[in-house]
Structures are given as structure tokens and as C-alpha cells.
Amino acid sequence: MNNEKLSAKQDKQDKIVGMFDDIASTYDLANRVLSMGIDIQWRKKGCDKAFEILGTKRIGQVTDVATGTGDLLIYWREQAQKSGIEIEKYVGIDPSVGMLEVAKKKVDFAEFIEGKAQALPLEDESTDVISISYGIRNVVDRVEALEEFYRVLKPNGIVMILEFTKQERSGLLDKIVDFGMKKVLPRVGGLISKNYEAYKYLPDSIEEFLTTKMLAKELEDAGFEMKYTKSFSMGISTLLVAQKR
């Protein structure tokens, strides 16, 4: 890849990170309002399914990539405790310093590290689980990130992804969902965060993203075996769980 393309990718990634720095203080409130809290159930489902596939009561490390304010780490611990699973170490990684500042105040049981999904500051085969919730869409070098996930996971390790994948919308309900995502979400998110552009970015980025089938194919190309996929709320959100071969 030539220097001009690399520079353009870096500029785009830096702009996304800066956007999340700007909305960090209101991010959790906006999430709960916009999802009406249902995203909590999606996250818990992802944790439970990952535990089920991993099939062990002792886990060395869970690493949450693009951790944001650390929300998912809370549910990893809650669901582990409910299932009688012992997790030795929790790690959250994010390139946004603003998000990590919020996470460190909110989650006192995890280690937080500034870093990018496509260049994880972890040793080879050092973690049992990698999760990324609503973050893979924002990684410019996505293929490189999936290769990094494979590198740092232990043999038979699990990658759990929650994301807004692209949908083919045609029916009446689909049109209503589409209207909500494109018209209502940016206005409400913008009102809470005082940053309309950040929440206009969300539906725009979904339109530019992959379908579930395409993302699953990228995981398989990176060396993972798909174990589970499920769509929630009329296809708004999708859970994908894959295992390192």
C-alpha cells in the first residue's frame, strides 16, 4: 500500500478516535437512551454464548477491544459469576484516551491499555477471549485487526463480536427501523452529547459496513471457525462468535 493510502487510512482512524474522545462523557447515557437498555441483554447473551462454547470454568484472561467506557467488561464479570466461572484477569483496550478515562473510574477490576485493534499491545496466545462490541465497524484496518485477534488468542480461544451489520431493508417494519436509525437516532444522540455529527456517523457507518455473511467470511479467512450467529431486534444488532482453529 502506498504512502498516500496509508496516510488517508490513518487520518480517517484518527478522526474516528477524536470523535469518541469528544462524546466520552455522555456515551453511556446516550447508549442507554437510544437502545432503551436492550443492548444490555445483547451483551449478556454474547458473554453467555462465548462461555458455553469455550466450555471451561477457569479462564485466564478476557480482553475487550475497543472497550470504550468498559461496559462489556462489567457483563463479562457478572455473567461469569452467575455461571460459576473464574476469570483471572480482565483487560480493556481502546485508542480513545477520553473513553479510557471514563472506563477507569467506572470499572475498578480491569486493566486498561491505550491501543488499537489492528496493533494489540498483547503477547502471542495470551488471552482466552477477545470481545469487541460495536467497535469493529470503526476499525479502518479490519482485516489486520482480525489477524491480531487470532495472534493473541490461545488455541481454541473465542472471539465474540456484537455489531450493527448492514441489512437489506424492504418491508414496512424495515423502513420504520431505517427511519429511526437515520433520522431519530442522530437527533437524540446529538441532543445528549451536543455532537450531532458523531451520531450521524453511526447510521452512515452501518450503511458502509459489511453484511453478517461478509463479516463471518472475513473471520473464517483469518483462521476462525464460526460457531454462532444471531440477529437481534429486526436485524439491528448481530452477535457473531467464532473459535480459533
Domain spans of the chain, in order of start: 3-244
pLDDT of residue 9: 75
| Band (176; pLDDT cuts 50, 70, 90) | low
| Section 26-51 average pLDDT | 84
What does the alpha-carbon distance between residue 100 and residue 114 come to, in Å, rounded to a whole number? 8
pLDDT of residue 205: 63
pLDDT of residue 153: 98
Q: Is pLDDT above 80 for 178?
A: no
pTM of the model: 0.81
Q: 108 vs 23, 28, 167, CA distance in Å?
A: 22, 17, 37
Domain spanning 3-244: CATH 3.40.50.150: yes
| Section 102-125 average pLDDT | 97
What does the alpha-carbon distance between residue 211 and residue 39 come to, in Å, rounded to a whole number? 20
CA neighbours closer than 13 Å in the CB half-sphere of residue 107: 27
| Band (115; pLDDT cuts 50, 70, 90) | very high
What does the alpha-carbon distance between residue 48 and residue 43 come to, in Å, rounded to a whole number? 9
pLDDT of residue 172: 57
pLDDT of residue 170: 55
Cell numbers given for 179? 427511519
